[in-house]
Structure 1
Amino acid sequence: MPATPLSSQALSASGTFDHVDPSIRRQAFLAAARMPAADALGIILAGRSVVEDAKDPWIPGALGAAIGAHAEAFLAAATPLLPAAGSGPLREEMRNPGFSDASSEDIERPDGWRVRVYSGEAEHVWLKEGGRNGGPCLSIRSEKGADTSWCVDIPTQPSTRYRFSGWIKTFDLQAEGGTHGALLNVHPRPWTTNSLKHDADWTQVEVEFATGPDEHSVSLNCLYGGWGQSTGEARYDDLSLVAIGPAHSMADWLEVARSSLDTHSEASLLGFRDATFSLEGGDGEEGREVFLGNTSTACYRCHTLDGTGGALGPDLSEVGSRLSRHELLESILAPNAALAESWQAPVSAMPALGAFLADSELRDLVAFLASSRKAQHSKPPPAEPFEVPPFLPFLVFGLVVLVFTLRVAKTSR
């Protein structure tokens, strides 16, 4: 289908955006991404962004590309829908959130909860009183230092955004170096809340995260220590897990559209990051796990790296030799800012990923991609100039005389 206004009009009237088959909807989104900007397509995409369930893992990328191509019309149609997109009652998903029920297997442990120890020694106690409102709570205490948690596994819906929250109180909690202290996190992802240290009264913390298209459960941690050992005591109470909408929410799609209209602004580039975000550091090995194992972004589905992965997007082998860290960050958060030469469409099929990666995940992913470089074959050091020893000429002269003398003696016999 040629990229003409007439084709845009025909695509708008085709009904393919509402087809029951997600693969057909995906193809319709990709076709829209290649069409010139059209108000009708922007309005249709705004409607689909509210109801699209993204059971096909390729749909978010295709929808994001289409939104980027029709950003102005999409923003005009979608912005009024934002309040409605997040409305409705929130259902509590947390198991035994107030720790009121005992486990049938161990009466000293709340139902559904277990202990996870990473290092050190700690005392894990289910307190019957001492919580935020005087009721039960969980406690972790260590004198020598520990990195550990109370944890619970919760069934979840795929491609869904959740909010995990709770209250924490600390008593002389010491956390040295890069150790976090007391916090909540989603295991094994680096989705974490703010952390508490020292003596802190009951404080509410929360983190939002999105499950991938094939993710049906998460493990939630009341974490003590966190990437290092802590001492002192931490208490946890009134935990909550609620589904707040699809993984790719209306707010996310609005950000995609704004990024497409202003791809080179610093605010657009940072996207969901504040002014303090830094690319310094990052763990390349953790970044490899993000690239290969993060089901929300699924980088490997579209990109090849060292011969492995999909072929839809550019090959990222040795990308660290071609792009700086800042350019890698830009390609992740604002993929339309600079398109690869091999990409023929006017907009990228990749959505802006700022909403789907925690700060630490983004930092690690950039570190991993930056480490993918051409093999550096170092040149051998230049040979040092050979200095003739001062005695060498005399030695050579002596050998010549000796050989000549021996030959003369042999001839005279």
Structure 2
Amino acid sequence: GIAEHIVVADESRTGKRSLCITSTRGADTSFFTEVKVKPNTEYRLTGWVKTARLLGARGAQMNAHEVQKQPRGSRTNALNRTTPEWRRVEATFNSLNRDELTINCLFGGWGKATGTAWWDDVALHEVEYEAVIEAEPEVTGGNPSRGKKIFETHSVAACSRCHAAGGQGGSIGPALDGIASRKSKDYIRESLVEPQANIAEGFQIEVSPMPPMGVLLKEQELEDVMAYLMTLRN
């Protein structure tokens, strides 16, 4: 088809000029430029488009040619017929393994169109995603039932593998029956978070094999285990 590609000064959205493509006989064409990009990176293509008596095919839109076959595509919304006001369009896509992309201002697009379309403020930006960090839930008072379950079943802390309570558990470390009657709450907490600080009587070792529970357990889990241990009285 036959079309005119011109830079005009009387239809700009910002600045002094815009791109105009017009055809009376019908055309499937584009104005394009090649840009350097980072491979495997998210990009957003944006621009402003308006049309006049644009009929046929898809109309007026933009795309990144080499990556248009990815599932979400790389094309912006298409405008046709008459859109007298500038309208913003955008598309977000991944550059895949490319280090260069062809950015098209498409007229017609997969078929011929007649009429006129204008493009202005076309831009390609790398997408920067802000990390969303979920706040830890507020720590409440320890729950002995939850603490007992953590003591017996937590796959990483593995408390019952080394310590026995109620006749169940290992014997690598001291049995904890009656611990709340023998030791203070501060002593028990310190033994959980700093195992090297207090080596139990009868276990004459220089270094405790127990890891610090403050690293392995969340703060709420630690409170729950503490609540359970404080129920172990004679």
| TM-score calculated relative to the size of structure 1 | 0.29
Would you say the 8 A contact 2:50–2:87 is kept in 1?
yes
- Which residue number corresponds to residue 150 of structure 1? 31
Does residue 162 in structure 1 map to residue 46 in structure 2?
no
- Correspondences of 1:234-383 after superposition (within 5 Å): 234-245=117-128
Would you say the 8 A contact 1:169–1:203 is kept in 2?
yes
Instruction: Report 1 or 2 for greater relative contact order, CA contacts < 8 Å, sequence distance ≥ 6.
Output: 2
What per-residue deviation string (whole Å, max 9, x for no partner) do you get for residues 232-282 of structure 1? Answer: 000000011110148xx979xxxxxxxxxxxxxxxxxxxxxxxxxxxxxxx
- Which residue number corresponds to residue 34 of structure 1? none
* Whole-Å separation in 2 of the counterparts to 1:162 and 1:231: 31
* Residues 168 and 189 (structure 1), Cα distance of their counterparts in 2 relative to 1, 3 Å cut: same
* Whole-Å separation in 2 of the counterparts to 1:129 and 1:216: 36
Does residue 209 in structure 1 map to residue 87 in structure 2?
no
Which SS does the other structure have where 1:133 is aligned?
coil
Aligned letter for 2:60? A
* Whole-Å separation in 1 of the counterparts to 2:131 and 2:108: 36
Aligned letter for 2:43? Y
Unpaired segments of 5 or more residues in structure 2?
A: 69-73, 133-234
Would you say the 8 A contact 1:160–1:245 is kept in 2?
no
Does residue 184 in structure 1 map to residue 55 in structure 2?
no
What per-residue deviation string (whole Å, max 9, x for no partner) do you get for residues 190-248 of structure 1? Answer: 21010001110210000001112x310110001000011110000000011110148xx
* Residues 173 and 134 (structure 1), Cα distance of their counterparts in 2 relative to 1, 3 Å cut: farther
- Which residue number corresponds to residue 224 of structure 1? 107
Would you say the 8 A contact 1:162–1:210 is kept in 2?
yes
CA RMSD of aligned residues (A): 1.8
- Tell me how far 1:189 sits from its aligned partner: 3.3
- Correspondences of 1:22-101 after superposition (within 5 Å): none
Which SS does the other structure have where 2:55 is aligned?
strand
Which SS does the other structure have where 1:188 is aligned?
helix
Structure with greater helix share of residues: 1
- Which residue number corresponds to residue 233 of structure 1? 116
What per-residue deviation string (whole Å, max 9, x for no partner) do you get for residues 170-195 of structure 1? Answer: 011012xxx21000111133210100
- Which residue number corresponds to residue 197 of structure 1? 80
Would you say the 8 A contact 2:14–2:120 is kept in 1?
no
- Which residue number corresponds to residue 138 of structure 1? 19
* Whole-Å separation in 2 of the counterparts to 1:216 and 1:170: 32
* Whole-Å separation in 1 of the counterparts to 2:15 and 2:23: 23
Unpaired segments of 5 or more residues in structure 1?
A: 1-119, 252-413
Structure with greater strand share of residues: 2
What per-residue deviation string (whole Å, max 9, x for no partner) do you get for residues 77-135 of structure 1? Answer: xxxxxxxxxxxxxxxxxxxxxxxxxxxxxxxxxxxxxxxxxxx1101101133211362
* Whole-Å separation in 1 of the counterparts to 2:51 and 2:15: 15
Identity among equivalent pairs (%): 37
- Which residue number corresponds to residue 195 of structure 2? none
Would you say the 8 A contact 2:14–2:121 is kept in 1?
no
Larger Rg: 2
* Whole-Å separation in 1 of the counterparts to 2:28 and 2:131: 38
What per-residue deviation string (whole Å, max 9, x for no partner) do you get for residues 362-381 of structure 1? Answer: xxxxxxxxxxxxxxxxxxxx
What per-residue deviation string (whole Å, max 9, x for no partner) do you get for residues 31-58 of structure 1? Answer: xxxxxxxxxxxxxxxxxxxxxxxxxxxx
- Which residue number corresponds to residue 129 of structure 1? 10
* Whole-Å separation in 2 of the counterparts to 1:242 and 1:129: 27
